[in-house]
Chain A
């Protein structure tokens, strides 16, 4: 499951964000104040959510890469939308590997969250370094 999450996250960062992520040690800390987070909930034969958090130091660069602009993008609405689309694509690409290639899922629109739910344990985490910053993808199953 962790493997599927890493694969989907790396593929998405490379293809959409034109950025090269590297796996971080898996015992690394996830909690980070200076990050932006979104959640994408999914329902189907398995249900749960994917949370993507990306450090604010790198998010404007990723947004600029995705949209093909010269300067990093700072507009909060754009950053939120970019992060939501990344999470949506990671989610869509993770699910077939954990639930089977023919399962149909309903993905909810990405939703901003302020912090990770304390006490809830993710079923898998992908810890990534993107350039000099950190990004984490957490998969929760209901």
Chain B
């Protein structure tokens, strides 16, 4: 997890497969954060979650919000975007654990229960994504197979 309030920063996470990249940004306080989570639920390994809450959606996302509040962000202004959650198998049927899909579903449940809606998302499919949060603008940039888009 990375948090910043410096306008010359660019927060980056590389090669999101089934993992999710989650950015939040407060355009007034100019505070933002980027979280890279791997698995949906901490219940599968509470010891690991205690040691590294950022691995799991259900423990990592609250930490992301809390860290941004600490840096001056306000919940009602935060803009949340999400990318990743791919199924990197050749076809979705052979991806029996469907971790990418489960990650996104867990995120949506957690956000719904905490009164947060997603502003933009690019999830699923079968390709890897690199995600950048540009602190000067709040833009979230995706790099997919050498192509760059703004989310």
Interface residues of B: mostly helix, strand, loop or mixed?
helix
Question: Which residues B108-145 have CB closer than 8 A to chain A?
Answer: 108-109, 112-113, 115
Q: In the complex, how many angstroms separate the beta carbon of A21 from the nearest chain B beta carbon?
A: 11
A141 to B109, CA, bound (A): 35
A68 touches B112 (CB 8 A): yes
A69 to B98, CA, bound (A): 26
A70 touches B113 (CB 8 A): yes
Q: Write out the residue numbers on chain B whose beta carbons fall within 8 Å of the beta carbon of A14.
A: 105
Interface size class of A (residues with CB under 8 A): under 10
Q: Write out the residue numbers on chain B whose beta carbons fall within 8 Å of the beta carbon of A19.
A: 105, 109
A20 touches B113 (CB 8 A): no
Does any Cβ of B come within 8 Å of A18's Cβ? yes
A7 to B105, CA, bound (A): 17
Interface residues of A: mostly helix, strand, loop or mixed?
loop
Interface string of B51-93 (1 = CB under 8 A from A): 0000000000000000000000000000000000000000000
Question: Which residues A55-104 have CB closer than 8 A to chain B?
Answer: 65, 68-70
A18 touches B101 (CB 8 A): no
Contact of A18 among B98, B109, B115 (CB under 8 A): B109
Does any Cβ of A come within 8 Å of B30's Cβ? no
Closest residue of A by beta carbon distance from B98: A20
Closest residue of A by beta carbon distance from B102: A20
Q: Write out the residue numbers on chain A whose beta carbons fall within 8 Å of the beta carbon of B109.
A: 18-19, 65
A20 touches B105 (CB 8 A): yes
Q: Write out the residue numbers on chain B whose beta carbons fall within 8 Å of the beta carbon of A69.
A: 113
Q: In the complex, how many angstroms separate the beta carbon of A87 from the nearest chain B beta carbon?
A: 21
A65 to B110, CA, bound (A): 9
Q: Which residues of B are interface residues toward A (Cβ below 8 A)?
A: 98, 101-102, 105, 108-109, 112-113, 115
Report the 10 A-B pairs with minimum CB-CB distance, sorted nearest first.
A18-B109, A68-B112, A68-B113, A20-B102, A20-B105, A65-B109, A18-B108, A18-B105, A14-B105, A18-B112
